[in-house]
Structures are given as C-alpha cells and as structure tokens.
Structure 1
Amino acid sequence: MADWTEKYRPSTLSEVRGNDKARDALKEWAETWDDHGEAVVVHGSPGVGKTSAAHALAADMGWPVFEMNASDARTRDEIERFAGRAAANSTLEGGRQLIVLDEADSLHQHKDRGGAAAMTRLVKDATQPIVLIANDYYGMSRGLRSACQEIEFRDVSARSVVPVLRDICRQEGVAFEEDVLKRIAEANRGDLRGAIKDLQSRVQDGRVAAEGSEGERDRTADIFEFLDAVLKEESAEEALSTAYSTDETPDDLLQWIEDKVPKVYADDELADAYEHLANADVWLGRVRATQNYTYWRYATDNVAAGVAAVRRTDRGGWTRYGGAPYRSARDSTRDYIAERIAERAGVSTATARREIMPYLAAMTHHCRNRELTVRMVTRYDLEAEHVSFITGSGKTTNKVEGIVAEAAERREEAAIEHSGGAFAPAEPSDPESAGDGDSDDAGENGGAGTLAEFGTGAGTTDEGTDERGEGADRGDEATADESDEKGDNGDEGDDGDDGQAGLSDFM
C-alpha cells in the first residue's frame, strides 16, 4: 500500500491546510522575489506541511526544484559543491528554479566545520529563490537568520486536520466514524503528517478501527512538551525521560528552562529551581573544560528531574511561554549584569552568574518587593532591560520604569551627599565643615537607599577622595553605633573588607 502522506501531499498551495496566512505569505514572497531577491526560512513543528508547501509553491510558480537536506551537507566544501551544482542546474534549466534546503537548523550544530557560514554566503549571493526549512528557527545561526525573510507555520488545529482525514477516507473508500477521526487528530497535537500515518495504520477490512496505536509511535518531543513536563505536569523521573526524547542539547535545555521557569514558578519553588540550574551550569562548564560529554547526563538530571522535583503542585491549563530564548541578546544582557555584580561584589563573573543572579531573580521576581528591587538597581546601576531580565517583568511597564527612575534619583542624591560639598553654591564657607559633617549625614541616612547603604565605598576619606570599596565613611572613623548599622547592611566598613557584598546587600 502506498504511503498516504506522499500520495496525498498537496500539489498546489491552495491544498495546504491549516496555515492560510503562512501560505499566503509564502506565495507573496515568491511573486515578489525579483524585487527583493531574499531567501526565506519556513519554520515550525514537524509534520505541519513546511516541505509540502515549498514543493506546492514550486508547482504553482512553474519552477523546477533543486533540493538538498542539510543533514547531508555539513561542511563548507559540501555546501559549496551544492551551490555549484545549483548554479549549473540553473544555467541548464534557464529561468527561475526553487532551491530547497531542508533541516537548515541542523547546520548550526556543525558551524565549527564551516557549514553554517558557507550556507550564509550561499543565501546572500544566490541568484535564485531559496527556501530553507527548519523545525527550530533559533537553532539556526544568527547570520543565516538575518539574511532571510521568515515565515512561521503553526501547528495545525484538530479542527483543520479532521477534514483532511475525512477526504482521504472517502477517496480510499474507507468507512469511518467522525469521533474516531477527531481522536486521531487530537492525539497528534497539530502534526498533520502524523495524523495521516495513524489513520492509515488503523485501516482494517475497509474500515478505520476505533482503537489504534497512536502515541506509541516513536515521536520526538518538542521543546514546549518538555517545558510542560518539567514545569507543570510530570514527575522527576517522567520529566527526565521527556528530556531524553527532546532533540536538544543540555545547553539548550538549560537556556529554555532558565528563560521560562519564572513564568510558572515563584518564591521558594523558583529559588530551588535556580539552585538546580546553577548545578547544571557547573556540569556544563566541566564539559566545556574537559570535553568529557558523559557529564551531560548530570546537567540534564538537574535541568529536568531536579527542577521538576522542586515543584510543590502540578499545574494545568495553557502557559504563554513565548518564543525561544534570544541567545545573542540574552547572553549579552546576562553577561553585562554578571559583570556589574562581579565588579561590585568582588567575585568572578562566573560566580556572579551562577550563584548570585539566580537569587536576585527569585527575591525580586516581577518586582513584587519594590524596595528590594530599587536597592538592587541602585546598587548595580541597572537599566530597564536589565531589570526586565532579572525580575521577569516587561521593561516598558510603568513599574519597571518607576523603579529605574527612583534608583537614578537615589544615585544622584548619594553623589551629592558624598561629594564633599562639590555641588554646593559657590560662596564662602567654613573649610572644616565639609568633612565630618558629610560623613555623619551619610551615616544617618544609611537606611534611605543611598549608595552607602549598599557598601559601594562612596564615603569620603581624610584626603577628600572617593575610595571605592573601602566601606561607607571609612576615612572618618565612624562611631560604634554607625559601624553596627553598616554591619547590618553588609558594608563591613570597619574591618576594611572593601565593602564587597553580593546577596548580603539584600538580606
């Protein structure tokens, strides 16, 4: 019996089901290609019709197809040979032809061998329309993504899948019950190709059997199934099993969970989850340092089983996770914050990233503790995007903007307080009044959110210069009462510990 997924593959774009907007966008891209000359990335979950749509487009446009699977061309030389064959074929065929590169996201895994860079050059220099097919858009290199237009094919709803199954049954002369078709459609969660395969497997004696084996088929779990499994639904053991069936590296799983866990967890659950993510990061660091990939299992244990185990209750319903973590922008933001913390706290950037940032994120989650968040922003001189990153809040929200503005006011007040009179009106004054008086003011205002409160070393020394990290007002030999107050705030000014503090600033 012929494979029904091939037999009933759409022959024109009008036959593509469930992605009308994406289908129309693809057609418009092709019809205007002479004007823009750009390649396009068609991405979405497996089985939603991406490759079928590309071939149907070629049929509609009357373009011959030149196709290659990226899994078979992973090096620079192989990509360049492919480009040469495509160019030669174009010369022989004459006119336009459609170049289709399937599994384009697999190139990123082999960028050290030059495949991704070579494909980026091919896309930029191409004189023919190119369609790149990908399951994971952000699994492609940033350079390749930026060189292409983007069209997303979404999961096909069960409501759109059922008519397709019904039409196939009628053309094959197979008897069916509507409820059975609905169950097949719902079991495949938007995978039209999988639904057709299940339908064909159920046909017995000219009829669709009421029971089948869908769900038993070896199907790779997508990343959102993994997120639901870990953060909402499954036990630690089950979540770990789902992680192993997800086609992502432990590094990628860590980034996904780290990015999405604040959308589901809060308070103690979130803090405990970050503890496991920090452990996973340690194991991944050992992998990078030793190239011993057996350590991957320990990273995955922490990311999947560890994070699932700290969940107090299971969650139902749908969660708006949003898109994939934006690795480049995200990493640069995270690195900037880690560097600020490391500089202030006197620790390494790695320690700041692994051990301090997760706790700051838990304590300031969604800016619920406003005072604590303002103190953090003041302490580390953060902007709205950094507050958004740590707290999980939108950077354009009124709350975040208000916190950033208040922190800026506190820094300005602190600068004036510790300026030694530099900002005072230009008029005669007692030269002896600018030293100890200012220091006393700073001590009295220790709880008012000034920089002295955070141990930034903004105090004025006997020589009148700012000694960063020497503890608030160290040069003026603060009184015992003031020293006790500073000690409570983590400034440790009297014992000369450079006023370096991390989490102690907020405890």
Structure 2
Amino acid sequence: MDWTEKYRPTTLSEVRGNDKARDAFAKWGRSWDDHRKAVILHGSPGIGKTSAAHALANDMGWDTVELNASDKRTGDVIERFAGRAAMNATLAGSSNKTGDAETDKKQNRQLVILDEADNIHGNYDRGGASAITKLVKKSEQPIVLIANEFYDMSRGLRNACKDIEFRDVSARSIVPVLRDICRREGLEYDSDALQQIAESNGGDLRGAVNDLQAAAEGEEKVTLETIATGSRDQSMGIFEFLDAVLKEQDPQEALQSSYAVDETPDDITKWIEGNITKVYEGEELARAYEFLANADRWLGRVRASQNYSYWRYAGDNAAAGVAAARDGTKGGWTRFGRPQFWAGSNKTADYVAQKIAEESGVSMGTARRDVIPFLAAMTHHCKPRELTVAMAAAYDLDESHVSFITGSGETTNKVESIVEDAQELRAERMEEHSGSAFEGAVRSEEDETDEADGSEDDDGQATLTGGAGGDADAADADTDADDEPEKDDSQSGLNDFF
C-alpha cells in the first residue's frame, strides 16, 4: 500500500510543517456558517493541502466530495457534479437527525474539494472558471479549492474566496514524520539517512515519504546506502550544471549531473529553457526544444496524477535529451540567469501571461510554459525588430513587458522605440477596424459646435446650419460620399495585429 495514503493525516493536528496555515484553515471551517465563503489552499505540490482538506472534514464530521479540475473541465459538468453537492443543504443518506433543524443542517454539511483548481481557465475550459465563480458565491456547502499556482486562477475566482498559502515543509518538520513511519512499520533507521531524504526533497513531504518507502523495500534498516538519494552529490551548483548540459557533457554525463544538482526536474527544465537560447541556435535549438517539450509533457502528467515517479522521464529529456541535441562541445563563458518566465515570479510575469492568455484564448499556465518561451526565442534581444513590434502591438505591452520577454534592457532606446512603434501600429489597426465610426462621431461634435456658434466658410462669411450655405455643404458632402469607393472591411479583427 502507498505509504502517503496509509499515513495521511486524519486530523488537522497531525498536519506537519504549516502550523499557521493549518490554524487559519481550522478557523475557516469552524466559522463557515458565519461567513459562508469558499477557501483556496495554494502552494507547491506535495506539502499537504489536499490532506489538510480531508483532515478538516474529519474533524468537523463532514462528508467529502472530491473532484479534479483537469478531469471536469467544462462549466456544465462542474455545475452538475460540484453544484449538486454544494447547493444541497440536506443531503440524502444522512440519518443522524436530532430534531433541531439548525443542528441537523450543520451535521449534514458536505465539504466539496476541487483539486487542481488552477487548471480552470475561462474560454480555454469552456466556462469552467465562470461556473466555479458563480458556484462559490451561492454555495450552501463549504468549498475548498486546491491550487499550486494561485495567480493561474481568474481574478474573479480569487476575489470570491479566502486564500491560505501552504509553504514548503522544512526538513526539520519532515524528519519526525519519517521517523514516525519507520517506527510504525517496524523499520530500523540511521538518523543521517532520514535527514538526507528530508533535505533532498526540497519541501515536498509526499516525495520524502515516497523515497522512504522505496528505500525500505526489502530492507530491515534504512541507511545512507539504501536510499536512492544517497549517491547524489549536492555540491554541483545550477550554473555549473547549465555549463555541463548546454556546453560540455555527453547525454549520460548530463543525466548524472542532473542527479547531483539540488533542483527538482521541474525547476531544472525551467533553468534550461530559460537559458538555452544563449548557447543553442538553428537546428540545435529546434532539436533541444523537442526534448524540452517532451519534458513538459511528463511534468504535466505529474501535475495531473501527482505521481512523482514520472519526474525521472522529465529529467531524462531535459538533461540528457538537450545535451544530445548539441553538435559537439562549446567553449567560452556564458552569463546564465534566473528563468525570466518562472511561474509566479513577479507581477510583470503575471501580467504578460495574463495578456497572452486573454488574447490567445489559452490558460495562464499554457501561456507561461508554452507561449512565452517561444516568443522569447523568436524575439531574443528584439530581433527581428518587425516581429518584436508586432508582438508588442498584439498584446499591448509596455517597455517592462517587452524587456521581460526579449531579455533586453527596459530603458534602452531600442526597447523604447519598439514600444512607440507598437503603439502607433496598434492605433492604426484600431482606426482601420473602426471604419467610419469615429469619423461620424467627430462630425457630430463639429455640427453641434456649428449650430451653437456658427462657422466661417472659405470666404470668411458666417453661415448657420440649416441655411442656404448649410444645404449646399450637405449636398456637397452627399456627392463626396457617393463618389467615395466602398471600404472593404473583410479583414477587420484582431488577427491584423498578428
């Protein structure tokens, strides 16, 4: 049996490493009848968010209904499944009635748990975000939304809920959990081995328990020699690792280096993706992006299934695959940097991802993982300039946004001139798309001014609208309108920006 399930906390008091978040969550549950507001539990995978939700339900004596947003994407399905549970104040099957209506109502509560709630994104999910937002506002049952990326959720949904952040679990909090599992399993252990497992999982409690179970299989004692992480050399830094993969090592060596660096396959992929265009180009870059795309697919399966055994396949593609895409070794020094499109890294990243998601009809997660990296590759250092201008116009980006995507300095003349040209291009496109709508509005204002104050013709003679001069002008205008060729607006639309 999976130890993460076998030893899942049954009460909130057993949830480790997030005392502040745990207490806030408990308070939310106890006072739900007073505020009736849904809550979002957000933070990295494997730190106990879903376990905390089930533990709260157990503490409160509530039944649970658990859904996964990646499986129930459409608005009508969400309404049918979650809505039915959330709106039903007295659920069938409850037999412990006391005779007091209010007491019975509280006992019949049902906690609706929506996992991967950050995978619901408006148009992309055909109304899912809208359905959930409406649901949490009118629910007669408590709702918990579980998310890894808080800002991948729509603003309306975030504003409709209380949010509680769960932070990565420290090694100091993980070790007692591992020690307790060993005791209950009758396993002997070396303290150094448990400490190594805790530290190597970077705050992921679930991953640490999985590593412990793997190390204990067929063993009577867990030692440094028996744990999978025991052979890792934690001394390799991330920049040394990037040099190894992108410049120096063969695929097998690069894979071994990925074990030596203290980063998860998810973060390794981000680091490589964020720096690869500084070293690779042409066919090398195209081949490398294929391997990075494969790595991202495996990471997506991890997020969807929470099965972290898939991490190794992501690491294989990101490290060994990218190294295999290289033609020989490369020399020289390269200035590597933190990935610019690190999810949730700053407000600029959030804004750019949101703009791309809105314009392209995709999720913010897709914008971050798939769209922004390719835009960055295609407009690296604002080259080609015409494409960079078109991109800035398409997404209505300012200097900081263009700098973020292209890797150029925000205050450089090049970036500033690109944004100026993009604004002019956007204005031209808007005028083309508007047809004569603005022209009519301008003429109406001029006519009103003429009616009130009069106007002067070319000879300097004042005329009033409605007089002979006005009729003549109107006749001339009609003639001009008849002579003007009909405008072809078949190309109107935002597609012109692209």
The alignment's TM-score, normalised by the length of structure 1, stands at: 0.51
Per the alignment, residue 84 of structure 2 pairs with 84
Which structure 2 residues correspond to residues 269-348 of structure 1 after superposition, within 5 A?
312-313=333-334, 323-324=344-345, 325-327=349-351, 331=355
**1:226 deviation in Å?**
3.4
**1:85 deviation in Å?**
3.9
Which structure 2 residues correspond to residues 175-194 of structure 1 after superposition, within 5 A?
175-194=188-207
Which amino acid is the alignment partner of residue 295 of structure 2? S
Residues 67-109 of structure 1: per-residue CA shift (max 9 Å, x gap): 2222332222211211124434743343233111112122228
**1:328 deviation in Å?**
7.1
- C-alpha distance in 2, partners of 1:352/1:310? 38
Per the alignment, residue 27 of structure 2 pairs with 28
- C-alpha distance in 2, partners of 1:187/1:244? 25
**1:191 deviation in Å?**
1.4
Contact 2:403–2:409 at 8 Å: present in 1 too? no
Per the alignment, residue 119 of structure 1 pairs with 132
- C-alpha distance in 2, partners of 1:363/1:231? 10
Contact 1:44–1:153 at 8 Å: present in 2 too? yes
**2:391 maps to which of 350, 375, 379:** 350
- C-alpha distance in 2, partners of 1:113/1:375? 38
SS at match of 2:70: helix
Per the alignment, residue 473 of structure 1 pairs with none
**1:131 deviation in Å?**
0.2
Residues 108-138 of structure 1: per-residue CA shift (max 9 Å, x gap): 2874422222122111111221100112223
Per the alignment, residue 474 of structure 1 pairs with none
- C-alpha distance in 1, partners of 2:342/2:404? 22
Which amino acid is the alignment partner of residue 4 of structure 2? T
**1:249 deviation in Å?**
11
Per the alignment, residue 269 of structure 2 pairs with 226
Per the alignment, residue 208 of structure 1 pairs with 222
SS at match of 2:46: coil
- C-alpha distance in 2, partners of 1:51/1:63? 15
**1:14 deviation in Å?**
1.6
Which amino acid is the alignment partner of residue 128 of structure 2? G
- C-alpha distance in 2, partners of 1:360/1:137? 21
Q: Does 1:245 align with 2:289?
A: no
- C-alpha distance in 2, partners of 1:10/1:64? 16
Q: Does 1:49 align with 2:48?
A: yes
Contact 1:231–1:311 at 8 Å: present in 2 too? no
Per the alignment, residue 67 of structure 1 pairs with 66
**2:114 maps to which of 79, 101, 104:** 101
Which amino acid is the alignment partner of residue 331 of structure 1? K
Per the alignment, residue 38 of structure 1 pairs with 37
Residues 351-398 of structure 1: per-residue CA shift (max 9 Å, x gap): 65799974799797365x7x99999999999xxxxxxxxxxxxxxxxx
Contact 2:275–2:339 at 8 Å: present in 1 too? no
Per the alignment, residue 199 of structure 1 pairs with 212
Contact 1:226–1:239 at 8 Å: present in 2 too? no
Residues 415-442 of structure 1: per-residue CA shift (max 9 Å, x gap): xxxxxxxxxxxxxxxxxxxxxxxxxxxx
Residue 156 and residue 244 in structure 1: after superposition, are their counterparts in 2 closer, same or farther (change >3 A)? farther
The alignment's TM-score, normalised by the length of structure 2, stands at: 0.51
Residue 312 and residue 73 in structure 1: after superposition, are their counterparts in 2 closer, same or farther (change >3 A)? same
SS at match of 1:91: coil
Residues 132-174 of structure 1: per-residue CA shift (max 9 Å, x gap): 0112223323322222121121221222211111111112110
- C-alpha distance in 2, partners of 1:154/1:247? 26
Residue 4 and residue 322 in structure 1: after superposition, are their counterparts in 2 closer, same or farther (change >3 A)? closer
Residue 26 and residue 312 in structure 1: after superposition, are their counterparts in 2 closer, same or farther (change >3 A)? farther
Residues 429-471 of structure 1: per-residue CA shift (max 9 Å, x gap): xxxxxxxxxxxxxxxxxxxxxxxxxxxxxxxxxxxxxxxxxxx
- C-alpha distance in 2, partners of 1:7/1:221? 25
Residue 211 and residue 164 in structure 1: after superposition, are their counterparts in 2 closer, same or farther (change >3 A)? same
Residue 198 and residue 70 in structure 1: after superposition, are their counterparts in 2 closer, same or farther (change >3 A)? same
SS at match of 2:113: strand
SS at match of 2:77: helix
Which amino acid is the alignment partner of residue 391 of structure 2? A
**1:179 deviation in Å?**
1.4
- C-alpha distance in 2, partners of 1:124/1:142? 14
Residues 246-285 of structure 1: per-residue CA shift (max 9 Å, x gap): 36999xxxxxxxxxxxxxxxxxxxxxxxxxxxxxxxxxxx
Residue 373 and residue 77 in structure 1: after superposition, are their counterparts in 2 closer, same or farther (change >3 A)? closer
Q: Considering Cα pairs closer than 8 Å and 6+ residues apart, tell me whether 1 or 2 has the greater RCO.
A: 2
Residue 4 and residue 187 in structure 1: after superposition, are their counterparts in 2 closer, same or farther (change >3 A)? same
**1:212 deviation in Å?**
3.6
Residue 178 and residue 311 in structure 1: after superposition, are their counterparts in 2 closer, same or farther (change >3 A)? farther
Residues 263-313 of structure 1: per-residue CA shift (max 9 Å, x gap): xxxxxxxxxxxxxxxxxxxxxxxxxxxxxxxxxxxxxx99xx99xx99943
SS at match of 1:25: helix
Contact 2:274–2:341 at 8 Å: present in 1 too? no
Residue 319 and residue 373 in structure 1: after superposition, are their counterparts in 2 closer, same or farther (change >3 A)? closer
**1:175 deviation in Å?**
0.7
Gaps of 5+ in 1: 251-300, 336-344, 382-507
Which structure 2 residues correspond to residues 398-477 of structure 1 after superposition, within 5 A?
none
Residue 68 and residue 186 in structure 1: after superposition, are their counterparts in 2 closer, same or farther (change >3 A)? same
**1:39 deviation in Å?**
0.8
Q: CA RMSD in A?
A: 4.9
Residue 134 and residue 37 in structure 1: after superposition, are their counterparts in 2 closer, same or farther (change >3 A)? same
Residue 30 and residue 16 in structure 1: after superposition, are their counterparts in 2 closer, same or farther (change >3 A)? same
Residue 226 and residue 175 in structure 1: after superposition, are their counterparts in 2 closer, same or farther (change >3 A)? same
Which amino acid is the alignment partner of residue 409 of structure 2? H
- C-alpha distance in 2, partners of 1:311/1:80? 58
SS at match of 1:17: coil
Per the alignment, residue 242 of structure 2 pairs with none
- C-alpha distance in 2, partners of 1:134/1:76? 18
SS at match of 1:245: helix
**1:50 deviation in Å?**
0.6
Percent sequence identity over matched residues? 46
Per the alignment, residue 136 of structure 1 pairs with 149
Q: After superposing the two structures, state which structure 1 stretch, 124-133 or 352-361, moved more.
A: 352-361
Residue 56 and residue 136 in structure 1: after superposition, are their counterparts in 2 closer, same or farther (change >3 A)? same
Per the alignment, residue 15 of structure 1 pairs with 14
**1:42 deviation in Å?**
0.8
Per the alignment, residue 153 of structure 1 pairs with 166
Per the alignment, residue 480 of structure 2 pairs with none
Gaps of 5+ in 2: 95-104, 233-254, 301-320, 360-385, 424-498
Which amino acid is the alignment partner of residue 24 of structure 1? D
Contact 2:85–2:112 at 8 Å: present in 1 too? no
- C-alpha distance in 2, partners of 1:63/1:248? 35
